[in-house]
Structure 1
């Protein structure tokens, strides 16, 4: 059974929800949340999730390469996003708040500097999915971290939609 999207369990930053709606992708999120809830994340569960995400046109594990020039040469970091479709970067986190914040920072970096992607990808908006059974991350903590720290001190600017989705006990 797919989770139902409750508006009281969502938060939108810089019109993130409106962008997802304009792209016609809001209705995909319950299926994606259900696939990650049932099969978990990571490459080891890729095939099980693909059965649910592929028919919707979502790609999994889309990579970006971030680079910085240093006095010693080039520092490089590869990162991937759990799912991608039409400029939407999606991450699912059920482990800890700091990992959720790392996902947000990766999405921000891809939004600010699209050179990390190959020509097939770009970042217009970010989605963070959080199951309701975890202690952290939470919707409220994510909203607070974005507004009080990431946007306030680091210029976080990617439009964002966060959904803390309901799960069965």
Structure 2
């Protein structure tokens, strides 16, 4: 995975959060993309060395980790945030794009609550704070800034993707 020098994204742990309060937790090592997920990211971005942050969680409760990818760089980030991709993990080890959302920011949380069989997500939306993103049956909402806000006790939970990503002015 390529990282820009200014990138300060920390991918140290994933903790699940309830709608309003902290829930159970799972600790993970620092995460890098598997070759299969990296291939899916490269295929989507059409770049040979895309820059991104990644985390894994079984979002659809099928026993296979899915990939959450926050793309970085001028191509994928604007003043409101960056592009968030969710890749569904497949039984053969490959990944297929399940959802794309723009103007997303870290921290990104995987919530215990589920909608249509998939875990709800919470992303930071510039000007609103943390918002809830519910699976609509075929994808997560494309624009997090239009979603309802969520109160998270940030002292009790840690995000799947956290840190500061430089967003162009």
Q: TM-score, normalised by structure 2?
A: 0.31
More helix by share: 1
Question: Structure 1 or 2: larger strand share?
Answer: 2
Which structure has the greater CA radius of gyration? 1
Q: TM-score, structure 1 length as denominator?
A: 0.31
